Amino acid sequence: MNSCSIKNVVFDIGNVVVRWAPAEIVRLTFGDSDSVEAQVKSIFQSETWLSLNKGLISENDAKAHYQQALGFSELECERLFYYIKHTQILIYGTAELIERCQAAGYRVFALTDNVHEIVSHLKATYSFWPLFEGAIVSAEVGLLKPQPEIYQSLLGQYGLEASETVFIDDMPYNVKGAEAVGIAAIQFNSASQCEDALISLGLEF
């Protein structure tokens, strides 16, 4: 790839722009215990959560499913989704990096496995979302990373060339998913590390 060819910068949201910490969410909701890891799996690796992320069910549907399948009380479900939203604090420096990419003339997008109600919360709480020219949200397209179709959806909807696009995500398998369709990709650790990696690709701020 020509190191100066990147025109489009695509950001994941969870653990790139805002923190996503399932174990902390479980501890805040249910208290600390030896079963935190098992609870994380039962909640966030369940068919219910996958269906929520794909937009097949609503948050209220998910609460009802968790009450039935996992025996959670109504209060526990309310508390769970409160902490799902309110632990998503800004990752230091990323919103500023998005602003600088945009100011430097790059087209900036989001590509995220995310839930309708969480996206609404993020839009209401923070000012970064309008910085994106567009966004592909799993719940809106019924696809999840690293399915190739979700990356292709981004390229197709916004008329982007894969060879002119870089995708930033914290998860290695999502990075590989982008690379598999010809998109350059960076595994995110911090905003400063990400900026260095973008500069290494030839981007100028």
pLDDT in tens, 69-111: 999 999 999 999 999 999 999 999 999 999 999 999 999 999 9
Residue 2 has pLDDT above 70, yes or no: no
CB distance 199 to 101 below 8 Å? no
Q: What predicted TM-score, i.e. pTM, was given to this entire model?
A: 0.95
Question: What is the model's pLDDT at position 34?
Answer: 86
User: Class of 8-19+90-200 per CATH?
Assistant: alpha beta
**Sequence spans of domains, the chain:** 8-19+90-200, 22-86
pLDDT of residue 32: 85
CB 12 within 8 A of CB 188: yes
Percent of the chain with pLDDT strictly greater than 70: 98
| Sign of the C-alpha dihedral computed for residues 73, 76, 82 and 83 taken in this order | negative
Average pLDDT, the chain: 96
Model confidence at 4, in pLDDT bands (50, 70, 90)? low
The pLDDT of 32-37, averaged and rounded, is 89
**Residue 1 pLDDT exceeds 70:** no
The pLDDT of residue 188 is above 60: yes
Percent of the chain with pLDDT strictly greater than 90: 96
Q: What is the dihedral of CA 163, 132, 119, 149, to 10 degrees?
A: -20
